[in-house]
Amino acid sequence: MAFVDDLALIEVFLMLVAAVLAYSGVRVWLAIRSNQPATLNKVLRGTAVPVGLVGATTLAISLWGEMTWPFPAAYGLAGYNIFFFDPLILMSFVLLGFAVSAFLGLRLQYVGVFAMVAGAATVFYGWVGYTASPAFTKDPFYTLLLYLGFGIAGIFALPATVVVDYYTASVEHGHVPWQVGRSAITTHLRSMGVRGVQSVVPDVTTSPSDPKASDSGEMVFHMPKVVQGLLLLFPLFVALAGIAAFWYFGVTLPGHLGAGAANAP
C-alpha cells in the first residue's frame, strides 16, 4: 500500500474529540449539580453519536496506519506505526466503548477503567517518544504535550465515570445522594456572610425515615465540592488536550503542506 500522510486529518479528529468531550463533560457536571437525571441522560445519549462516529473513523484510519507505516529503517519511518497509531487505536476503543455504553444507558465506569489504562499507556508512549534518540518527530516537545494531555484526560475519566454511575444508580433506586439538611446549608452560608439565605438547589427531597431529616429539618440535594472537582477534572484535561492538539496542528500543518507543494508537478 502506498504511503499517505494523514497527520493533519488525525489532528483534526483529536480536536473534534476534545471539543465534544469537554463540552459534554461540563454539561454532565451541570446536570448532576442541578439534580436533573433526565437532562443527564439526554446529554450522554447525545454525546454518544458524535463520539461514536469519530471513534469508528479514527479506528479505521489507525488500523490502516498500523499496516501501512511500518516501513524499513532506510525510509526513516520505522516504528512510526507503533508510536502514532497504537495510542490512536486505544483511544478509538475507548470512544466506541463510551458511545455504546452511553447510548444504551450502561455503566460507564468499566469504560473508565479502559480509559485509565489507555491514558497511562499514552503518557508512556509520549515520554518514550520524547526521550528517544533520534526523536520520532521534529517537534518532540509539542508531541509530548499532546500525548500528556490526552493521557491524563484518560486517567481522570475513571473517577468522572464513577461519579456519574453513582448518581444514576442512586436515582434508579429512588435515592438521591449527597443530601444534607437545609439548616446545615443555611448555617454554612451565614458563616460566609450571606444574608437572606434561600434554597441553592432546585430539587428538594425529603426523607422522613432518615435520622438527619428529624435533626436538620428538610433534606436538600447538595453535591460536595470534592465530587464536583472529580467530575470537572476530566473536561478540564480534555480541553487542555484539545488546545495541545490545536497547537500541534498549527505547528505541523505548514511543514506538511509545504513538503507537498515542493513536490507538486
Q: Which residue, among 243, 241, 222, 256, has the nearest Cα to 91 in the 3D structure?
A: 241
Confidence of residue 215 (pLDDT cuts 50, 70, 90): very low
Please write the tens of the pLDDT for every residue from 14-32: 999 999 999 999 999 999 9
Confidence of residue 115 (pLDDT cuts 50, 70, 90): very high
**In this predicted structure, what is the pLDDT of residue 208?**
40
For the CA atoms of 121, 122, 128, 130, the dihedral, rounded to the nearest 10 degrees, stands at -160
Q: Which residue, among 2, 15, 7, has the nearest Cα to 243 in the 3D structure?
A: 15
**In this predicted structure, what is the pLDDT of residue 218?**
65
Q: What's the pTM value of the predicted model, to 2 decimals?
A: 0.78
* Alpha-carbon distance values, 250 to 12, 26, 84, 235 (Å): 11, 26, 18, 22
Q: Taking the domains of the chain in order of start, what are their residue ranges?
A: 7-174+225-262, 179-195+202-222
Amino acid at 53: L
Please write the tens of the pLDDT for every residue from 135-174: 667 778 888 999 999 999 999 999 999 999 999 999 998 8
Confidence of residue 71 (pLDDT cuts 50, 70, 90): low
pLDDT for 41 beyond 90? yes
Confidence of residue 207 (pLDDT cuts 50, 70, 90): very low
CATH 1.25.40.600 fits 7-174+225-262, yes or no: yes
Confidence of residue 134 (pLDDT cuts 50, 70, 90): low
pLDDT for 185 beyond 50? no
